[in-house]
């Protein structure tokens, strides 16, 4: 297989990056946990348009999983991932093991307060500390010009942007849109856990978000009514158990009482034993796309 190089150590990444930079190449990083789907590959496409060289990291990060979460069961499909990344035009895969990222004596944690206590943070304590810490490590090793993240993980994207801003990290954070299946379900590595009827009912999440967008486009601005209408749609699917659904400010992630300009409508739910998240950005005309 040609076109994509697998790098397993920080030293190998640093040598490769130094070689690229000596030729004047700009570099993008796409951090992933593997089990890649079209959503991930769309981020690689964005990265290729923004820079000359693209590194995709694949690391199932134990620090962002809680004790009762699916770390050991999380899908690991490296050979499939490598084939997909080769076809997508990535130039290198950074494939570290846990000891590479967290060597003996590792004792540092990056905490972004104020953005990590709400939404998913209420239900996954420590999750975002694991995300920001591993991203800080990856940024330190790769030193990319650009890092590309998907907007499906909207809270994560906001947290990473705040970390980069507050710590003056010299990386531009670029986002890619939510990529969906034909029936609207947001693509996720965890979708493969869904059984047939669970998969069918999981589309209620997006249908609820779309109904909220329709309400906003008709002039509704009251957050309770917007959220309530979305919840009615989702509740019609008995296998979908909502953990939260909230309309928040897209920058502070604080709850909105009324939509004045833009609002992020975010939802998390369990479908069977699978936890799914989704979101939609709302503006005066309903759903909007955001950079």
Write out pLDDT tens, residues 254-288: 999 999 889 999 999 999 999 999 999 999 888 88
**Tokens 């990473």 -> residue:** 160
91 is catalytic: no
Helix, strand, or coil (residue 63): helix
Domain boundaries, the chain: 5-176, 189-284
Per-residue pLDDT tens digits for 143-191: 999 999 999 999 999 999 999 999 999 999 999 999 999 999 999 999 9
Per-residue pLDDT tens digits for 230-243: 999 999 999 999 99
C-alpha 209/C-alpha 81 separation (Å) is 31
CATH class label, 189-284: alpha beta
Q: Are 268 and 277 in contact (CB under 8 A)?
A: yes
Q: Which residues contact 41 (CB under 8 A, 6 or more apart)?
A: 84, 85, 88
Closest CA to 242 of 266, 265, 224, 269: 269
Structure tokens, 214: 């329709």
C-alpha 131/C-alpha 159 separation (Å) is 9
Enumerate the β-bridge partners of residue 31.
Answer: 57
Q: In what order do the strands lie in the sheet with 27-32?
A: 5-7, 92-94, 53-58, 27-32, 146-150, 172-176
Structure tokens, 24: 């004047």
Per-residue pLDDT tens digits for 103-131: 999 999 999 999 999 999 999 999 999 99
Q: Which of 40, 91, 99, 127 is catalytic?
A: 40
pTM: 0.96
CATH class label, 5-176: alpha beta
Q: Angle, to 10 degrees, between the axis of helix 10-22 and the axis of helix 127-142?
A: 50
Give the ranges where the chain is alpha helix by DSSP (H): 10-22, 38-50, 78-88, 98-101, 120-123, 127-142, 154-166, 196-201, 204-217, 223-235
């Amino acid at each position: 297989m040609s076109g994509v190089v697998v790098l397993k150590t920080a030293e190998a990444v640093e040598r490769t990056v130094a070689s690229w930079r000596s030729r004047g190449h700009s570099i993008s990083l796409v951090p992933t946990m593997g089990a890649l789907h079209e959503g991930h590959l769309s981020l690689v496409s964005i990265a290729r348009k923004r820079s000359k060289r693209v590194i995709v990291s694949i690391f199932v990060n134990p620090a962002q999983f809680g004790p009762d979460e699916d770390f050991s069961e999380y899908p690991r499909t490296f050979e499939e991932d490598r084939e997909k990344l080769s076809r997508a035009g990535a130039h290198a895969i950074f494939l570290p093991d846990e000891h590479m990222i967290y060597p003996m004596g590792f004792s540092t944690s990056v905490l972004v307060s104020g953005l990590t206590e709400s939404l998913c943070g209420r239900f996954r304590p420590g999750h975002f500390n694991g995300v920001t810490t591993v991203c800080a490590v990856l940024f330190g090793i790769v030193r990319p010009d650009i890092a590309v993240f998907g907007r499906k993980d909207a809270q994560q994207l906001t947290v990473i942007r705040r970390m980069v801003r507050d710590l003056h990290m010299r990386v531009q954070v670029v986002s890619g849109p939510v990529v969906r299946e034909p029936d609207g379900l947001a693509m996720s590595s965890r979708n493969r856990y869904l059984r047939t009827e669970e998969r069918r009912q999981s589309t209620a999440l997006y249908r609820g978000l779309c109904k909220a967008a329709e309400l906003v486009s008709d002039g509704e601005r009251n957050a309770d009514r917007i959220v309530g209408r979305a919840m009615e749609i989702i509740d019609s699917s008995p296998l979908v158990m909502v953990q939260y659904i909230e309309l928040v400010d897209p920058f502070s992630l604080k709850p909105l009482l009324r939509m004045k300009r833009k609002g992020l409508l975010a939802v998390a739910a369990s479908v069977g034993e699978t936890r799914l998240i989704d979101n939609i950005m709302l503006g005066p005309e309903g759903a909007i796309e955001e950079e």
